[in-house]
């Protein structure tokens, strides 16, 4: 399993762009990078997934450099409602759910 390292917490202000970086030095060739968002006392919600370069959807962008040893989740123009814990996951398509590991995540606090 590829271990991931994220900052424990980050603060930002409304309207700013937030970038959360995740390190995964031991990522395997078949591993994908997935990000989830979790609000208190709720289940996590899938945000975005990628394998290499850049992926963008309606809520976020994911930047993955060529060596794939890190990735950056970018949230444009955050609002107070984006205050949550963000998890970076790395796993391979082996058919085994054991490949997904949720670490402690990054607590993002958006301030007014």
Partner 1 sequence: DGGITQSPKYLFRKEGQNVTLSCEQNLNHDAMYWYRQDPGQGLRLIYYSQIVNDFQKGDIAEGYSVSREKKESFPLTVTSAQKNPTAFYLCASSRGSDSYEQYFGPGTRLTVT
Which residues are at the interface with partner 1 (CB under 8 A)?
Answer: 32, 34, 41-46, 49, 87, 89, 91, 93-98, 100-105
Least distance (Å) from partner 1 to the CB of residue 61? 17
What secondary structure letter does DSSP report for 14?
T
Residue closer to partner 1 by CB (options 41, 112) is 41
What secondary structure letter does DSSP report for 97?
G
Residue closer to partner 1 by CB (options 54, 77) is 54
Least distance (Å) from partner 1 to the CB of residue 44? 5
Residue closer to partner 1 by CB (options 13, 46) is 46
Tokens of residue 84, six digits: 């949550």
In Å, what is the CA distance from 74 to each residue of 29, 61, 71, 99, 108?
A: 23, 5, 10, 24, 12
Q: Give the angle subtended at the CA of 41 by the CAs of 40 and 42, to the nearest 5°.
A: 90
Least distance (Å) from partner 1 to the CB of residue 15? 29
Q: Are the beta carbons of 2 and 26 closer than 8 angstroms?
A: yes
Least distance (Å) from partner 1 to the CB of residue 105? 6
Residue closer to partner 1 by CB (options 66, 98) is 98
């Amino acid at each position: 399993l590829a271990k991931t390292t994220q900052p424990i917490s980050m603060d930002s202000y409304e309207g700013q762009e937030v970038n959360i970086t995740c390190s995964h030095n031991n990522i395997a060739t078949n591993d994908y990078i997935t990000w989830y968002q979790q609000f208190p006392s709720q289940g996590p919600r899938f945000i975005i997934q990628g394998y290499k370069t850049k992926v963008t959807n309606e809520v976020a962008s994911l930047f993955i450099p060529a060596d794939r040893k890190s990735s950056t989740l970018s949230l444009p123009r955050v609002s107070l409602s984006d205050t949550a814990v963000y998890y970076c996951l790395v796993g391979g398509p082996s058919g085994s759910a054991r490949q997904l590991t949720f670490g402690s995540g990054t607590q993002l606090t958006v301030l007014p």
